[in-house]
Chains A and B, each alone.
Chain A
């Protein structure tokens, strides 16, 4: 089956998922530039890691299943892997940021004073 023979509902659903996923990724990366400090920037990239990637994976499952005319769900592997690994990197970076901030200022950063 080629791209011209995709049924209308799959065309619509796949397009919606792709557009929303890529927009969320774009907004998350925009957060890297717009948010004021390291700790807030970490929240921005979670957007692309969770729902942005999830929407694109769903679109990929949908279109691949229609091409192959059976249910292909290998993309679940990437989902499982990202769910279990992306928090690890974020938490390590968070702790490293806190540690360095404490080494710089001599005390633990508290709420309200972490603007640079």
Chain B
């Protein structure tokens, strides 16, 4: 029963999703959702590869708002580049960032954050996991991008997952 805590969280999330999808709190839906989520959780427990150890949920909330603000800001920046003069549209390129994050769930979250932010796309991780390659639309100041990713995202993700 060592898996019990993470299973419970997974079950609760699935149950909430089921109720949201049906948009009702009727007793029948509650019962059906409970049966379905317990059966699904129990039957897929064997194929979930790794357990995540998220802690510091307050930091996670802070990260969410940081990412939201960054998405809004870079949406406006990328819209400006697309509508702007031709010179700025040709300044894209690949760059490398040294990485200290090792937790697989943390890396998955970092990939989602980097790709969901317009202007940067995750392009690959070196086999030893130490160097990250990203593609940047507006590649003018590499140092600024390294600082953004390391200080705004990676530090918080390491706090959450390690």
CA distance A51 to B79 in the complex (A): 11
Q: Could you say which residues of chain A place their CB within 8 Å of the CB of B112?
A: 83-84, 87
A40 in complex: contacting residue of B79, B92, B111, B116, CB < 8 Å: B92
Q: Which residue of A lies closest to B115 (CB)?
A: A87
Contact between A111 and B94, CB atoms less than 8 A apart:
yes
Q: How many residues of B contact A (CB 8 A)?
A: 32
Q: Could you say which residues of chain A place their CB within 8 Å of the CB of B115?
A: 46, 86-87, 90-91
Contact between A77 and B20, CB atoms less than 8 A apart:
yes
CA distance A49 to B92 in the complex (A): 20
B78 in complex: contacting residue of A44, A83, A90, A95, CB < 8 Å: A44
Q: Could you say which residues of chain A place their CB within 8 Å of the CB of B118?
A: 43, 46-47, 50
Given A95-B123, A112-B93: A50 in contact with B82 (beta carbons within 8 A): no
Contact between A34 and B82, CB atoms less than 8 A apart:
yes
Q: How many residues of A contact B (CB 8 A)?
A: 39
Contact between A91 and B111, CB atoms less than 8 A apart:
yes
Contact between A39 and B121, CB atoms less than 8 A apart:
yes
Which residues of A are interface residues toward B (Cβ below 8 A)?
A: 24, 27-28, 30-31, 34-37, 39-40, 42-44, 46-47, 49-51, 72-74, 76-77, 83-84, 86-87, 90-91, 94-95, 98, 109-112, 114-115
Apart from A46-B116, A47-B75, A77-B20, what are 12 other A-B pairs with CB-CB below 8 Å? A27-B83, A28-B79, A34-B89, A40-B137, A42-B121, A47-B82, A87-B122, A90-B115, A94-B122, A110-B93, A111-B139, A114-B92
